[in-house]
Amino acid sequence: MNWLLKNWYKWLSILLLLYVIAFGMLVPLRPGIMKTDTFRLDLGTEAEIHIQFYNTHLRKSDDHRIWIRVDNDHAIKAKSFAVLNDVELKAVFELPSELPIDERVAMASLLADNSVDGPMVLPAAFSLVGENAGPGEISLWLENPVSDLNMRWTYAYPWRNILEETIRNTYYHVPMWFGMMLLFLISAIYSIRLIRSDNQDYDSRVFSLNLVGTLYGLLGILTGAIWARYTWGAYWSGDIKQDMAAITLLIFLAYFLLRSAMDPGPKRSRVTAIYTLFAFAASIPLLYIIPRMQPSLHPGSGGNPGFGGDDLDNTMKTVFYPAVIGWTLFGYWLSNIVFRLNRLGRKTEEKIFT
């Protein structure tokens, strides 16, 4: 019992990570619209559109409704449709000859709804091209408004176009960075304690926390690169947050260079502790301030924190926050092993040389 209590954070981290991996991988995605075969729609024609869905059960329901929606008030409902299989459907739209807005071209989204899968939307699905500008047959656009959607809560992660299943990486890639920052924070606290007391155990703490924090950062960069390859199109896009994260890692890698360049002793521990404080202070603007002032592919650029809406809904929060705590505690466990090894090494060297 005592042993269990003494290692509480190790058990907790393992339990949390088991929960995070099981629920993060097994909970399904909400049904969604994957793609259509047409992008340009000419007004005044009849359009047959082949729509591909994801995670839907189209054959189970017979109350399908499909709209092409220009804005909140103006939409065209499909005249007829044919369900091909559970995830494919062909819809026929009779397009009015004029746009409801005073433009020649308008972006429109595709909306689908049925009682089994609930409402689904594909934003910016079509470009409507009209010969005549100006409001004409507006009444056609108002006849079948988007209404009475089958909204309901399901235990599933949000469907996001382009992201698709990779939204689950929120539980594995993002906590790497949260964990890294928390480990660096503890490391900064030990640096202050070292400078105040010259206790060499704190030097081992700073070293081990920096080591595991840097490992987490490297894993964050690598998992981010593979995620970016299949969502943004390239391993490295020169995105502001990618670049700033790389700079942060280089700053912390320099800590190990500095440390290996000096002879062991109180002087080295003090110099490297002060360097750690500077590195930690630099990492805050690099990771949390500059990326928010620049346009970025990451969510949360332009001043708003990325956690809101469909990027991290309430269902995802039930896995994401345990993931952050679990990965951080696991990182602290790893750093504790490094700490004990480093401390032992120092003690034995002291024994050898004195």
Q: Compute CA 107 distance to the chain's CA centroid, rounded to the nearest angstrom.
A: 27
Does 149 bind other proteins (CB under 8 A)? Our answer is no
C-beta neighbour count of 325 within 10 angstroms: 20
Q: Compute CA 269 distance to the chain's CA centroid, rounded to the nearest angstrom.
A: 37
* CB 47 within 8 Å of CB 62: no
Does 15 bind other proteins (CB under 8 A)? Our answer is no
Q: Which stretch binds other proteins (CB under 8 A): 61-69, 118-126, 170-178, 252-260?
A: 170-178
- Element housing 88 (H / E): strand 88-94
Nearest to 221 by CA among 171, 189, 180: 180
Site for other proteins in 273-312 (CB under 8 A): none
Interacting residues of 331 by C-beta distance below 8 A, sequence separation 6+: 179, 180, 182, 183, 212, 213, 215, 216
Smallest separation, CB 15 to other proteins (Å) = 17
Fill in the per-residue mask, 315 to 334: x = in contact with other proteins (CB under 8 A), - = not in contact. Answer: -------------------x
Q: Please pick, from the candidates 18, 142, 222, 250, the single residue that binds other proteins as defined by CB under 8 A.
A: 222
Q: What whole-number distance in Å separates Cα of residue 248 and Cα of residue 290?
A: 12
Q: What whole-number distance in Å separates Cα of residue 285 and Cα of residue 59?
A: 52
Q: Please pick, from the candidates 21, 84, 138, 156, the single residue that binds other proteins as defined by CB under 8 A.
A: 21
Structure tokens given for 343: 């401390």
The nearer residue to other proteins, 223 or 315, going by C-beta atoms, is 223
Q: What whole-number distance in Å separates Cα of residue 227 and Cα of residue 24?
A: 16
Q: Please pick, from the candidates 231, 301, 315, 336, the single residue that binds other proteins as defined by CB under 8 A.
A: 231
Q: Compute CA 18 distance to the chain's CA centroid, rounded to the nearest angstrom.
A: 20
The nearer residue to other proteins, 95 or 228, going by C-beta atoms, is 228
Q: Please pick, from the candidates 9, 19, 54, 307, the single residue that binds other proteins as defined by CB under 8 A.
A: 54
Q: Please pick, from the candidates 48, 164, 243, 311, the single residue that binds other proteins as defined by CB under 8 A.
A: 164
Q: Please pick, from the candidates 15, 18, 22, 25, the single residue that binds other proteins as defined by CB under 8 A.
A: 25
Q: What whole-number distance in Å separates Cα of residue 227 and Cα of residue 237?
A: 12
Does 18 bind other proteins (CB under 8 A)? Our answer is no
The nearer residue to other proteins, 165 or 243, going by C-beta atoms, is 165
Smallest separation, CB 75 to other proteins (Å) = 27
Does 176 bind other proteins (CB under 8 A)? Our answer is yes
Interacting residues of 255 by C-beta distance below 8 A, sequence separation 6+: 210, 272, 275, 276, 279
Does 337 bind other proteins (CB under 8 A)? Our answer is yes
Q: Which stretch binds other proteins (CB under 8 A): 2-10, 117-125, 171-179, 305-313?
A: 171-179
Q: Which stretch binds other proteins (CB under 8 A): 68-76, 90-98, 167-175, 242-250?
A: 167-175
Smallest separation, CB 106 to other proteins (Å) = 30
Smallest separation, CB 334 to other proteins (Å) = 7
Query: How many chain residues bind other proteins (CB under 8 A)?
Result: 34
* CB 29 within 8 Å of CB 164: yes
Q: How far is CA 186 from CA 181, 192, 209, 226, 351, in A?
A: 9, 10, 7, 29, 29
Site for other proteins in 202-221 (CB under 8 A): 212, 215, 218-219
Length of the chain: 354
* CB 140 within 8 Å of CB 76: yes
- Which segments of 58-173 does DSSP mark as H helices, in order? 138-142
Site for other proteins in 61-120 (CB under 8 A): none
Which stretches of the chain bind other proteins, using CB under 8 A? 21, 25, 29, 54-55, 163-166, 168-169, 172-173, 176, 212, 215, 218-219, 222-223, 226-227, 229-231, 334, 337-338, 341, 344-345, 348, 351-352
